[in-house]
Amino acid sequence: MIIVKLRECKICLNNTLNPTISIGRNGLCRLCELYKNNFDGKLLKKELEFLKTFIGDSKNKKYDVMVGISGGKDSTAILYTVLKIGFTPLAFTFDLGYYPQHIFSRAAQVARKLGIDYVRIDIKKYIQKHDLVSYQKTAELYSKKITPSLKREFLRNYVQGKKYYSIKSKKSHAFVRVCILCRHTVVPSYYREAARRGIKLIVLGINEWTGLSQDKKSNRFIFSGIRKIKLFSDKPPLYIVHLPFLLQRRISDVNEILKTLGWKKPRGERLIETNANSCLLARASESKADKLLGFHPDSTRLSREVTVGFITKQQARKALAKVHNYRYSVRQVLQRAEIIK
């Protein structure tokens, strides 16, 4: 029998239990190595100056930016920061039918405290047909009994899921990483909802880069805090900003802002959580995915937060140690959301 030694990245939590992860001779995973060798602080400063050119630049007479919030630590701190920069924001929360209800009340409360208008937006109408099929396939996958063959199927689907990560993908797939399902609807919805309001900028409290690309001339990799998307030729482009990354925020910076605002953790929650804390679909899938994959389904996302320096490796490990269980299955969550029958 061949025994393969488990290897973990020296910087983040990515390890070789995940078949998409490789660790180099220097002890770093591919992303940490790229980030270490290519991060460009000067680029982020230029992007920040570009961001500020949108202040007051909008066809909308009332708002010049939309800010996505959940009322959690990251979005609360970013909404406050957007105000301080000089923007006039409209705060919003998307609703796909499977987010906890307290998300909306908490988000509205944060916006009200900061004197900002808030809107809850139902985006189920934007789910495309092939994604509806993906939801159904995902429910079927998670409804299967745990067996050795299902473990192999989960690992295979996890790897294949990366092929369909892009919002441009039109193929249906059973996603082990259910957050990809949300992404396929949420990102285009940013564009549609901003365009209908005459707004060209959306700011999010996401702590990692918006895009990773390679410059053809220099071959250097570019970690950007701003992403430009244009879905329709007759409408202007939308710029999506991950402001914590652009500002190179650390968790300690967020804590200082939260103290200023008097924000407190909800009872039973930790400051750093997996996606299952704020999404019932992620909560319903987390335990089974963790068992069958052999690693936490949110490990790569939290590892990216470690890579950029927002949180420590120890903080990420502690968050991943808490595996959520839920009384409803993936199928039941999607049925209650009226996405599948």
- DSSP letters, 159-200, are HHHGGG-STT-------SSTHHHHHHHHHHHHHHHHHTTT--
Tell me, what amino acid is at 263? Answer: W
- Report pLDDT for 234: 84
pLDDT tens, the chain, 341 aa long: 455 579 999 999 999 999 999 999 999 999 999 999 999 999 999 999 999 999 998 777 899 999 999 999 999 999 999 999 999 999 999 999 999 999 999 999 999 999 999 999 999 999 999 999 999 999 999 999 999 999 999 999 999 999 999 999 999 999 999 999 999 999 999 999 999 999 999 999 999 999 999 998 899 999 999 999 998 888 889 999 999 999 999 999 999 999 999 999 888 889 999 999 999 999 999 999 999 999 999 999 999 999 999 999 999 999 999 999 999 999 999 999 999 99
Q: Are 178 and 141 in contact (CB under 8 A)?
A: no
Q: Are 95 and 104 in contact (CB under 8 A)?
A: yes
Residue 201 lies in a domain: yes
Q: Which residues fall within 8 angstroms of residue 211, CB to CB, at 6 or more apart?
A: 222, 223, 224, 227
- Report pLDDT for 108: 98
- Report pLDDT for 233: 85
Residue 246 lies in a domain: yes
Residue ranges in the chain assigned as alpha helix (H): 30-38, 41-52, 73-85, 101-113, 129-143, 148-161, 179-195, 243-246, 251-261, 280-293, 299-307, 313-321, 330-336
Query: Which residue from 260, 270, 255, 248 is spatially nearest to 320, judged by alpha carbons?
Result: 270
DSSP state of 146: P
Tell me, what amino acid is at 200? Answer: K
If one counts the domains in the chain, the total is 1
**Residue recorded with tokens 């393969």:** 4
Residue 5 lies in a domain: no
Residue 56 lies in a domain: yes
Neighbours of 257 (CB within 10 A): 18
Residue 134 lies in a domain: yes
Can you give the CATH number for the domain in which 104 is found?
3.40.50.620
Residue 146 lies in a domain: yes
- The domain in which residue 315 lies consists of 30-336
What's the CA gap between 111 and 67, in Å, rounded? Answer: 10
- Report pLDDT for 5: 78
What's the CA gap between 116 and 95, in Å, rounded? Answer: 19
Tell me, what amino acid is at 225? Answer: G
Residue 11 lies in a domain: no
Residue 10 lies in a domain: no
